[in-house]
Amino acid sequence: MNILTFGPNGSGKGTQGAIVKEKYGLDHIESGAIFREHIKGGTELGKKAKEYIDKGDLVPDEITIPMVLETLQKSKEKGWLLDGFPRSLAQAEALDKALNESDMALDCVLEIVLDREIAKQRIMGRRLCANDNNHPNHIAFDAIKPVEKDGKLVCRICGGELSMRDDDQDEEAIGKRHDIYYDDTTGTMAAVNYFKNKGTAKIISVDGSKTIKEVYNEIMDRLT
Ligand code: AMP
């Protein structure tokens, strides 16, 4: 099964994606996480991407598109859940073309709908686990609240060290990321509409303002 996930930064898309991919044994491919790995590893791609990411701008398509398409190919047998790509109409068209050419079908588009102001508040409270990118931690949600150890907040799952993304604490960068997401002319909402209009994949739109469990149950009800 191949799934595309959409939702503004802060909608819980990563949290839900991590649970869904586990249930169906899919590879979880997150374009933002691939960039962060490159930055951590000090690669050339990472160095180029960082200047855009820190400002909340999109990394140029000539870097992003081949990087993501190559990763999808590697997960062709297992199936994938793609998060963070496509983020624009141009990326949606490139993805659609690549899927056709490589005989991969898109089974489902999962869209988490959330108001922009709520999404912003949520972004500022999330924390990243040093051991595993798929360990959700958020200071404002009881279900995924970090735990305290030796006077410090640590990952609620593995006790790993927590950090904040630089671009999550910068209101200007958050604003730019959301401008891109809610843009239905050439931005991410245009990419969502592209696949909705195409009509070949199952579309599941859920209300992201509900609790993690409610959102998950709704996704499961409609996915199966
Ligand atoms: P995310 O982890 O999805 O919030 O992505 C973090 C940052 O990585 C974004 O703000 C962009 O700078 C960059 N990025 C991630 N995915 C893409 C994409 N599909 N196209 C361009 N830039 C991206």
Span 135-188, pLDDT tens digits = 989 998 888 999 999 999 999 999 999 999 888 888 999 999 999 999 999 999
- CATH topology for 2-113+170-223? Rossmann fold (3.40.50)
**Which of 11, 13, 29, 35 to mutate to test ligand 1, by most ligand atoms within 8 A of the CB atom?**
35
Per-residue model confidence (pLDDT) at position 121? 87
Phi, psi (5° rounding) for residue 126? -85, 150
DSSP structural state of residue 180? H
Q: Measure 148 CA to ligand 1 centroid, in angstroms.
A: 30
13 is catalytic: yes
Q: Is any atom of ligand 1 closer than 6 Å to the C-beta of 7?
A: no
The span from the CA of 10 to the CA of 119, in Å, is 5
Could you say which of 36, 87, 127, 156 is catalytic?
87
Based on the residue annotation, tell me whether 165 is a catalytic residue of this protein.
yes
Q: Which pLDDT band holds residue 221 (cuts at 50, 70, 90)?
A: very high
pLDDT for residue 140? 84
Residue 77 reports pLDDT greater than 90: yes
Q: Exposure pattern of 83-106 as b/e (b: 16+ CB <10 Å)?
A: bbbbbbbebbebbbebeeeeebeb
φ, ψ dihedrals at 159, nearest 5°: 75, 5
Is any ligand 1 atom within 6 A of the Cβ of residue 59?
Answer: yes
Q: Kindly give the number of the ligand 1 atom that is closest to the alpha carbon of 87.
A: 19
Confirm whether 127 is a catalytic residue: no
- Model's pTM, two decimal places? 0.85
